[in-house]
Amino acid sequence: MRKAVNHLKKADAAMASLIGRTGPCRIAYREPRFDALARSIVFQQLNGRAAATIYERLEKACGAAGVTPQGILKLRLPRMRAAGLSAQKSEYLKDLARRTHAGEIDFDTLPRMADAAVIDTLTQVKGVGVWTAQMFLMFALARPDVLPTADYGIRTAMRNLYGLADLPKPAEMERIAMPWRPWASIACWYLWRSLDGGAEL
């Protein structure tokens, strides 16, 4: 991590200032397993506290083994709704569980796959778009050079840090991020921190 932070500080004066204000990078990683992606689905478009409560209820509903494909598949929709999940997210979780159970998604092989291949694999699941796959890359697979150009927080933080008139579009974000390579994920962590928030896997 020190190598990444030193690179960012030397490569980008604005990022160096942000790092100085924020302090050490304390990015937290999760194991790249089924439950990490299931958790990401639960957290979509919800604030962290509400999503965490729903996920805890889901864990309890799945039983002692926790959130596994088998645990999700055995749950009936009313039980999932009672945990606080929408009908749509319940179906997303069911689709993830079915595909994992069928071997279409093998979480053991994901760490050996290139970033683009991971995104192609995970976005086969209903409700898993590029952003969710990128969060899995960053926070579960610990990939160091991911730039989620659709992330509103990253766009807002870039606008603020670089004094832009408007939220940057993907091409401008890529241009700004060029000096960060190959540590864009770490730079994004600092950008989220500048908003007193952060992505949640």
pLDDT digits (tens, 9 = 90+) for 50-63: 889 999 999 999 99
User: How crowded is the C-beta side of 72, counted as CA atoms within 13 Å?
Assistant: 25
Q: Residue 198 above 90 pLDDT?
A: no
Q: Residue 170 above 70 pLDDT?
A: yes
pLDDT of amino acid 10:
97
Degrees, nearest 5: CA angle 128-135-44: 55
pTM of the model: 0.88
Portion of the chain with pLDDT greater than 70, in percent: 98
Pick from 121, 89, 127, 123: which is nearest to 107 by CA? 121
pLDDT band at residue 33 under the 50/70/90 scheme: very high
Q: Which helix (H) or strand (E) element contains residue 161?
A: helix 152-162
Q: Residue 126 above 70 pLDDT?
A: yes
Q: Residue 20 above 60 pLDDT?
A: yes
Q: Residue 197 above 70 pLDDT?
A: no
User: How crowded is the C-beta side of 87, counted as CA atoms within 13 Å?
Assistant: 0
Instruction: Phi first, then psi: give them for residue 147, nearest 5 degrees.
Output: -125, 100
Output the CA–CA distances (angstroms, integers) from residue 99 to 13, 61, 123, in the order listed.
Answer: 45, 20, 12
Q: DSSP character for 169?
A: P
Q: DSSP character for 53?
A: H
